[in-house]
């Protein structure tokens, strides 16, 4: 049985330390953070599909490709080090080297991540200042320090933790993430860090992360934009001392479920904290011909600006939902679609159903809105998450650099 640890996080698994410090990238907050494992950890990672991948991604890809293990991840916020040419790449490699030297670990065991403004060169003076201050430990305050250091326009920290028994050993998985704007399927301006003390082969860990990402991080959208720096890391250091997991292990499904729960929790927290957001929207599409159709349609609905603004205004305008459905390439029978907002049925077999506008208004005033669609075309189900679109989103992004 998988249990949620309410007050847990990235330092709940055995053998991980963290810290976050203030180096001057942001006006007045922590902006350089570090996660470090006591031993090299098998590592899996997924990255943005944006063609302009930032320098830190290239360095992390280089590190992981050498033996599939990572011992430390250094991250800064306030500067993305993206679209910064050869100098940006050199700076990212130099950051990796500085962490290697301070903590006496091989350079290829260090991954690098950055988030913030695009097109600005990384201040190595600030990076050096931050690294000099880093003193990672495993207390609750150290986890909070790291979580604070990765935030940009985020309002809240995102964190979660789960435990289970695998191979007779108690194993733990914790996660934290940042992301608020430039959030869209196929990653976003987000960084995710997942730690676990599970002993798991690196190749199947990578496969599992890719598969889980499709149903979690790639199913959220805030504003339809993808960024240059998005990365999710999973570090598995084996400190739980279970037999190494492969797909043939009887407890493999337990591990995959833990990874799914962790990723989905972080993804939903990101969607809820969308820039200017007041409500989390969850769309569930069932009765699709296949899972891809279901997931793509759910993303189309939750990503519709007209749907998002209707939810913000507490307007039960199901016509905007049906319009979004019709824009997808998924197979649809236009004569047999059901739509409900919450428990309020609004369309049955593509025929409008009378409902109370007052009851719908009260439901839509809440901070968690569910939209259900049944296509009656098959058995597949898909979900996606997003947020409403408010006036504050424009205010935040109109003055992002100022």
Q: If you average pLDDT over residues 41-60, what whole number do you get?
A: 92
Report the percent of the chain where pLDDT is more than 90.
75
Q: Given the residues 189, 221, 228, 231, select the one marked as catalytic.
A: 189
Which of 169-183, 256-270, 370-384 is least confident? 169-183
Q: Are residues 305 and 231 in the same domain?
A: no
Segment 61-79, tens digit of pLDDT: 999 999 999 999 999 999 9
Locate 207 and state its tokens. 């496969």
Higher local confidence (pLDDT), 220 or 133: 133
CATH of the domain at 62: 3.60.70.12
Catalytic, 221? Answer no
Q: Are residues 103 and 176 in the same domain?
A: yes
Name the pLDDT band for 180 (thresholds 50, 70, 90). low
Higher local confidence (pLDDT), 263 or 270: 263
Q: If you average pLDDT over residues 178-204, what whole number do you get?
A: 77
Domain interval for residue 365: 280-398
Number of domains in the chain: 2
Q: What confidence score (pLDDT) does residue 182 get?
A: 45
Q: Are residues 125 and 193 in the same domain?
A: yes
Q: Do 68 and 236 meet the contact criterion of CB atoms below 8 Å apart?
A: no
Q: At what angle do helices 202-215 and 252-272 cross, to 10 degrees?
A: 40
CA distance 191 to 22: 19
Question: Cα separations (Å) of 388 from 162, 305, 326, 342?
Answer: 29, 8, 21, 16
Q: If you average pLDDT over residues 41-50, what whole number do you get?
A: 91
Segment 276-287, tens digit of pLDDT: 678 899 999 999
What count of residues does the chain have?
A: 402
Domain boundary among 272, 296, 317: 272
Higher local confidence (pLDDT), 26 or 113: 113
User: Does 224 have pLDDT greater than 70?
Assistant: no
Task: Kindly report the number of other CB atoms within 10 A of residue 194's CB atom.
Answer: 25
Q: What confidence score (pLDDT) does residue 156 get?
A: 79
Q: Are residues 258 and 362 in the same domain?
A: no
The torsion angles phi and psi of 357, rounded to 5 degrees, stand at -60, -35
Query: Alpha carbon 227 to chain centroid distance?
Result: 13
Q: What confidence score (pLDDT) does residue 337 get?
A: 96
Lateral strand order in the sheet of 280-288 = 220-221, 380-387, 280-288, 368-374, 338-341, 344-348, 351-352
Q: What confidence score (pLDDT) does residue 275 get?
A: 65
Q: Do 15 and 239 meet the contact criterion of CB atoms below 8 Å apart?
A: yes
Burial class (CB in 10 A: 0-12, 13-18, 19+), 201: middle
CA distance 78 to 32: 9
User: Does 28 have pLDDT greater than 90?
Assistant: no
Q: Are residues 183 and 251 in the same domain?
A: yes
Locate 154 and state its tokens. 């985020």
Tell me the three state secondary structure of residue 165: strand
CATH of the domain at 336: 3.10.20.340
Q: Are residues 225 and 288 in the same domain?
A: no
Closest CA to 312 of 371, 364, 372: 364
CA distance 160 to 271: 15
User: Does 244 have pLDDT greater than 70?
Assistant: yes
Q: Are residues 45 and 132 in the same domain?
A: yes
Q: Are residues 305 and 251 in the same domain?
A: no
Q: Are residues 45 and 96 in the same domain?
A: yes
Q: Are residues 82 and 188 in the same domain?
A: yes
Q: If you average pLDDT over residues 222-239, what whole number do you get?
A: 81
Q: What confidence score (pLDDT) does residue 396 get?
A: 63
CA distance 137 to 129: 19
User: Does 151 have pLDDT greater than 80?
Assistant: yes
Q: Are residues 259 and 304 in the same domain?
A: no
CA distance 329 to 300: 10
Q: Which residue has the tokens 């490699």?
A: 93
Q: Do 262 and 194 meet the contact criterion of CB atoms below 8 Å apart?
A: yes
| Global confidence as pTM | 0.83
Closest CA to 76 of 44, 42, 124: 124
CA distance 123 to 128: 9
Q: Do 8 and 169 meet the contact criterion of CB atoms below 8 Å apart?
A: no
Q: Which residue has the tokens 């991604």?
A: 57
Segment 315-358, tens digit of pLDDT: 999 999 999 999 888 899 999 999 999 999 999 999 999 999 99
Within 13 Å and on the Cβ side, how many CA atoms surround 144?
A: 5
Q: If you average pLDDT over residues 225-236, what whole number do you get?
A: 84
* Residues in Cβ contact with 336 at an 8 Å cutoff, skipping those fewer than 6 apart: 349, 350, 375, 376, 377
Q: Are residues 291 and 152 in the same domain?
A: no
Q: What confidence score (pLDDT) does residue 402 get?
A: 53
Domain boundary among 253, 272, 291: 272
Concatenating the DSSP letter of every residue in 198-258 gives: --B-HHHHHHHHHHHHHHTGGGEESSS---S--EEEEEE--TT-PPPB-TTSTTHHHHHHH
Domain boundary among 246, 272, 298: 272
């Amino acid at each position: 049985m998988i249990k949620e640890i309410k007050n847990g996080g990235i330092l709940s698994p055995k053998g991980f330390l963290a810290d976050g410090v203030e180096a001057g990238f942001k006006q007045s907050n922590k902006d350089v953070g570090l996660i470090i494992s006591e031993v090299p950890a098998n590592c899996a990672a997924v990255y943005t599909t944006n063609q302009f991948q930032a320098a830190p991604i290239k360095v992390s890809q280089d590190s992981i490709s050498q033996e599939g293990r990572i011992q430390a991840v250094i991250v800064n916020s306030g500067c993305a080090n993206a679209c910064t040419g050869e100098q940006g790449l050199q700076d990212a490699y130099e950051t990796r080297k500085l962490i290697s030297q301070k903590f006496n670990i091989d350079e290829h065991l260090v991954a690098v991540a950055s988030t913030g403004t695009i097109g600005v060169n990384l201040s190595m003076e600030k990076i050096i200042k931050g690294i000099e201050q880093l003193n990672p430990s495993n207390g609750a305050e150290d986890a909070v320090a790291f979580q604070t250091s990765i935030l940009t326009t985020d309002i809240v920290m995102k964190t979660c933790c789960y435990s289970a028994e695998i191979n007779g050993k108690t194993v733990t998985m914790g996660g934290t993430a940042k992301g608020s704007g430039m959030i869209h399927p196929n990653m976003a301006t987000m960084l995710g860090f997942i730690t676990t003390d599970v002993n798991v082969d690196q190749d199947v860990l990578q496969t599992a992360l890719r598969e889980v990402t499709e149903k979690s991080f790639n199913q959220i959208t805030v504003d339809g934009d993808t960024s240059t720096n998005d990365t999710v890391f999973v570090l598995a250091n084996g400190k739980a001392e279970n037999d190494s997991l492969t797909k043939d292990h009887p407890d493999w499904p337990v591990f995959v479920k833990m990874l799914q729960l962790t990723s989905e929790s972080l993804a939903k927290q990101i969607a809820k904290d969308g820039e200017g957001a007041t409500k989390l929207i969850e769309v569930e599409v069932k009765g699709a011909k296949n899972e891809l159709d279901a997931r793509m349609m759910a993303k189309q609905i939750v990503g519709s600006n007209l749907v998002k603004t209707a939810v913000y205004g507490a307007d039960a305008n199901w016509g905007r939902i049906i319009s979004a459905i019709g824009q997808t390439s998924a197979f649809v029978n236009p004569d047999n679609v059901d739509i409900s907002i919450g428990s309020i049925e609004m369309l049955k077999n593509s025929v409008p159903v009378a409902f109370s506008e007052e009851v719908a208004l009260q439901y839509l005033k809440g901070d968690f809105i569910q939209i259900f669609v049944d296509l009656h075309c098959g058995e597949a189900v898909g979900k996606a998450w997003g947020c409403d679109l408010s006036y504050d989103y424009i205010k935040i992004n109109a003055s992002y650099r100022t």
